[in-house]
Each structure stands twice: as C-alpha cells, then as structure tokens.
Structure 1
Amino acid sequence: MNYYLLFYETVKGYEAKRQPYRDSHLRLAREAQERGELIMAGAFDPADGAALLFKGETATDAEAFAEADPYVRKGLVSRWYVKKWSVVVE
C-alpha cells in the first residue's frame, strides 16, 4: 500500500468564500475516510492551502477526490496536485 499527499493551493479570501461549500466538502472527506482512502486532512495556517493524506495502490483516489471536491469545482482551489509519499517511519 502506498501513501499519496493531495496538496491544495487556495485563492485569496478562501476562508470567507468556502462557507457555502464547507458541508459538502466535509461530507466528501468523511465518505473517503469511511472507505479507508483518506487518512487525515487539514488546512495550513495561514489558510493558503491544505494537505490531504490518502492511502491506496495508486493516486487515483486522491485525484478523484480533488475532481469531485466542491472547493475545486467552485474555483476556491487555484491549483492542486498529488505526490507519492515514501514513508520511512510509520
């Protein structure tokens, strides 16, 4: 099993703009966590981005999450990308 980090870079004013989509975003995250795909997630401080940790055979789950995320779909995320994370201590 591999780990993948999904990185978000957010637009200016993200914290105020996210409110209408927050429940849908969190529901998507909880569903991914219940399926065992999403391990943990959170925003940076200051909230200029976020990181979400996924576990799976490929990056597909992380990519599919981003593509379905209302934050991405509504333009609150200016850039997202996935990187495979080689864990040396677990």
Structure 2
Amino acid sequence: MNYYLLIYTVSPDYLEKRGTYRKEHLNLAENLHKNGQLLMGGALADPADQAILLFRGETPAAAEAFVQADPYVKNGLVLSWEIRKWTVVIGNPSASGNLS
C-alpha cells in the first residue's frame, strides 16, 4: 500500500470564503475517510496558507479524484496543488502495525 500527500496552497482569503463550500468539501472528505482512502486532512495554521491531506492506495487516483471534485478547487480557494508519493519510514504499517 502506498501513501500520497495532497498539498494545497490556498488563497489569502480562504478562511473568509470557505464557509460557502465547507459542508460539501467536508462531506467529500468524510466519504473517502470512511472507505479508508483518506486517512487525515486539515489546514495548516499561522499562517493558514496550505492544507495537507494524507491518502492511502495503490495509486494516487483517490487524491486526484478528490481534487477534481473539491469545491474549494472548483471555486478558486485553492491556488495550486500537488500530489506527492510519501515513503513512510517511521510508523510504516508493514513494520509496526496499522496506520489509520
């Protein structure tokens, strides 16, 4: 199993504008979390300029699909994004149990 980080760079007015789209964004994330594809996600603080979501899967397909469906992306709150494969060294479930 592979891990992928989805890294968003958000607009300077992200905190002010996200309310309109927040419920849809969180529902999308919650559905992926329930099926085990999205392990964790959240915004960075001080400054609130990025967000990071951790996906699990054989490919980055779940992260890619999330980006395409995310109202934050569709409505310009996300200025840029990238998906990076993450090689887990500490906490790797194959070595020390489950990461969930």
Give the TM-score, by structure 2 length: 0.88
Query: 1:30 maps to which residue?
Result: 30
For 1:4-23, list aligned pairs within 5 A.
4-23=4-23
Query: 1:54: Cα distance to partner?
Result: 0.2
Identity over aligned pairs, percent: 53
Q: CA shift at 1:12, angstroms?
A: 1.3
Structure 1 segments of 4+ aligned residues over 6 angstroms from their partners: none
Are 1:41 and 2:34 an aligned pair?
A: no
Shift of 1:29: 0.5
Deviation per CA, 1:24-73: give whole Å up to 9, x if none.
00000100001110000010012111000000000111011011000001
Distance in 2 (CA, whole Å) between partners of 1:9 and 1:59 is: 18
Amino acid at match of 1:30: E
Q: What CA distance in whole angstroms lies between the structure 2 residues aligned with 1:69 and 1:32?
A: 12
Q: Which has the higher contact order (CA 8 A, sep 6+)?
A: 1
SS at match of 1:6: strand
Is there any run of 5+ residues in structure 1 with no aligned partner, and where? none
The alignment of Structure 1 onto Structure 2 pairs a total of residues equal to: 90
Unaligned ranges ≥5, structure 2: 92-100
CA RMSD of aligned residues (A): 0.5
Once residues 60 and 81 of structure 1 are traced to their aligned partners in structure 2, the CA distance between those partners, rounded to angstroms, is 13
TM-score computed with the length of structure 1 as normaliser: 0.98
Could you say which residue in structure 1 is the equivalent of 2:3? 3
In the aligned structure 2, how far is the partner of 1:55 from the partner of 1:65? 13
Offset, 1:89 = 1.2
